Structure 1
Amino acid sequence: MTTTGIDARLDRIGTDGSYVIVPMDHGLTMGAVQGLKDIESTIDGVTSGGADAVLTQKGVAPRVHDNKNDQGYIVHLNGSTTIGPDESDKRMTGTVEEAVRVGADAVSFHINVGSDHEPDQITQLSEVTAAAERLGMPVLAMAYARGPGVDPEDPEALGHAVRLAEEVGADIVKTGYSGDAESFQHVVESTRLPVVIAGGSKGTDRQTIEMVRGVMDAGGAGVSMGRSIFQHENPEAIARAVAGVVHDDLSTEDALAEAGLAIEA
């Protein structure tokens, strides 16, 4: 159930109900990879380019605020590492109260629907949404279809994941992309929440922007793209191209051109 506080904070992390979010919590997951060593410059670049919000773990908050150009800030509340025993086993790394203390406008939580860890993550996400509602904080649920025998691009599985997020009280949901606008429409229609997509591994600029265009054509609300943006050789430019599609309804070609990015053959 939304409150005035939740609505006000959703406005801080989006623009007129659409969202360009750049998660940069990958330092916990992958270490100080390209784009995250000097995270201050990356944050400045992507928000200058049109990102509505950036997302990190709570400990990075002091490096965020002076560089986000008055855009939104989301604190992620669980995580795992690529070198640990099971990357799908996301563990709690923070609380809603801690996110409030470090100046967040929203919190996020990752759940792998279909994994062996789904039961615990459902419980934890439910606890996060309850705590967040008490404080008027929006919750971004990162609900992926991941687990034994689960196709992470299957629209039925993705639709189930986003519906789960709504059922347990999230305010916005991020999931994987099914590969095309037609199939992704089922995912969007599976919930009344705004649906944004993950970016995954970095592809070409055209592939990235075509994916964003497909999401918007399917009725999606935008993106929550990490590596495709923060590991780009020009994070500001690719953020501008993504924002051009999400916020200005540009075509792939126009978005690339206006951002000054070469249009690959």
Structure 2
Amino acid sequence: MNSTGTQARLERIGTDGAHLIVPMDHGITMGAVQGLKEIESTIDAITRGGADAVLTQKGVAPRVHENKNGKGYIVHLNGSTTIGPDENDKRLTGTVEEAIRAGADAVSFHINVGSDHEPDQISQLAEITDEAGRFGIPVLAMAYARGPGIDPEDPQALGHAVRLAEELGADVVKTGYSGDADSFQHVVESTRLPVVIAGGSRGTDRETIEMVRGVMDAGGSGVSMGRSIFQHEDPKAITRAVAGVIHDDLEVDEALGNAGLALEA
């Protein structure tokens, strides 16, 4: 699916094929939570800390560009809220063309594989990859294993989700983490796409960096990690620690130490 334009823009949201993306589209989902009220300063901190790209909904674009320090920008194209009837029912919030007008280097789309909404989301993702291909815009598919009776950390289900993203024409795929490097290797091997993981709800600094280390040890390509970074007391420092693992192949203690974070955290 990669045209010259798509490949050029992929390089804007990664470094040497590895990705440290910080999604901050949570305002539509959760409201103006910690780290998102003054999103300008958060974006400045994480991009100075080593993030390759930030991600928001289209309406926040004017608050992004002056603060992203030349890093990449991704516009997310669907969403839902935690106070609505069904958070898994992600609805379209934009188009590829709108994302381009907002200055995006790539677009992203969330699909819950195994949910009641999977059929509509499959069709929508297929349409988005087709439209994006015409414009040379990369697509990050956020493909999660979520639905009745599905374990969201099951490596078989996660492997199915990432393969679905490749089958539908995505360029990068984000999914959940299976809990350890050995099991996550199956997920990575289920597709030829670069695989990045979600951070989920925030844990300790050590838990965050150990998870990133596990992803890279399994052959993954990085993270698309939101709350663990933008809700941190020092977003620049935790970004630097994550970047140390992804881009410099540091071990956990060295990454934490270089970032000035307590090793016992």
TM-score range, shorter chain: over 0.9
Counterpart in the other structure of 1:102: 102
TM-superposed CA distance for 1:197, in Å, is 0.1
Pairs within 5 Å for 1:9-20: 9-20=9-20
Cα distance in structure 2, aligned partners of 1:227 and 1:263 = 20
Whole-angstrom distance in 2 between the partners of 1:240 and 1:114: 35
> What is aligned with 1:154?
154
Tell me the secondary structure at the aligned position of residue 69 of structure 2.
Answer: coil
User: Does residue 198 of the first structure (1) align with residue 198 of the second (2)?
Assistant: yes
Equivalent residue number for residue 7 of structure 1: 7
CA RMSD of aligned residues (A): 0.4
Unaligned runs of 5+ in 1: none
**1:189-228 aligned within 5 A:** 189-228=189-228
Residues in 1 aligned to 2:173 and 2:264: alpha-carbon distance in whole angstroms: 31
- What is the Cα deviation at residue 170 of structure 1? 0.1
**1:255, distance to aligned residue in structure 2 (A):** 0.2
Secondary structure of the equivalent of 1:47?
Answer: helix
**Which position in structure 1 is the counterpart of 2:184?**
184
1:207-233 CA-to-partner distances (Å, cap 9, x unmatched) read 000000000000000000000000000
TM-score by length of 1: 1.00
Matched, 1:165 2:165: yes
TM norm structure 2? 1.00
**SS of the counterpart of 1:250?**
coil
Identity across the alignment (%):
82
**1:254 alignment counterpart:** 254
Please name the residue that 1:42 is paired with: 42
Partner of 2:145: 145
Compute the displacement of 1:252 (Å).
0.3
Q: Which residue of 2 aligns with 1:69?
A: 69
State the SS of the aligned residue for 1:21: strand
CA distance in 1, matches of 2:153, 2:34: 27
Give the counterpart letter for 2:208 in structure 1: T
Cα offsets for 1:115-166 (capped at 9, x unmatched)? 0000000000000000000000000000000000000000000000000000
Deviation at 1:264, TM superposition (A): 1.2
Per-residue CA deviation, residues 61-114 of structure 1 (Å, 9 max, x unaligned), is 000000000000000000000000000000000000000001000000000000
Partner residue in 2 for 1:230? 230
The 3-state SS of whatever aligns with 2:21 is: strand
Cα deviation digits, residues 43-62 of structure 1 (max 9, x gap): 00000000000000000000
Q: Quote the offset at 1:258 in angstroms.
A: 0.2
Which residue type is aligned with residue 110 of structure 2?
Answer: H
Corresponding residue of 2:264: 264
Corresponding position of 2:116? 116
Provide the C-alpha distance between the structure 1 equivalents of 2:237 and 2:123, rounded to a whole number of angstroms: 39
- Alpha-carbon distance between aligned partners in 1 of 2:96 and 2:126, rounded to the nearest angstrom: 12
Q: SS at 1:178's partner residue?
A: coil
C-alpha displacement of 1:171: 0.1
CA distance in 2, matches of 1:247, 1:4: 24
Match of 1:129 in 2: 129
1:79 corresponds to: 79
Structure 2 unaligned runs (5+)? Answer: none
AA partner of residue 31 (structure 2): G
SS of equivalent residue, structure 2 residue 33: coil
Alpha-carbon distance between aligned partners in 2 of 1:42 and 1:82, rounded to the nearest angstrom: 23
Give every structure 1 segment of 4 or more consecutive aligned residues whose post-TM-superposition deviation is greater than 6 Å: none
User: Aligned partners of 1:126 and 1:232: how far apart in 2?
Assistant: 35
State the match for 1:241 in structure 2: 241
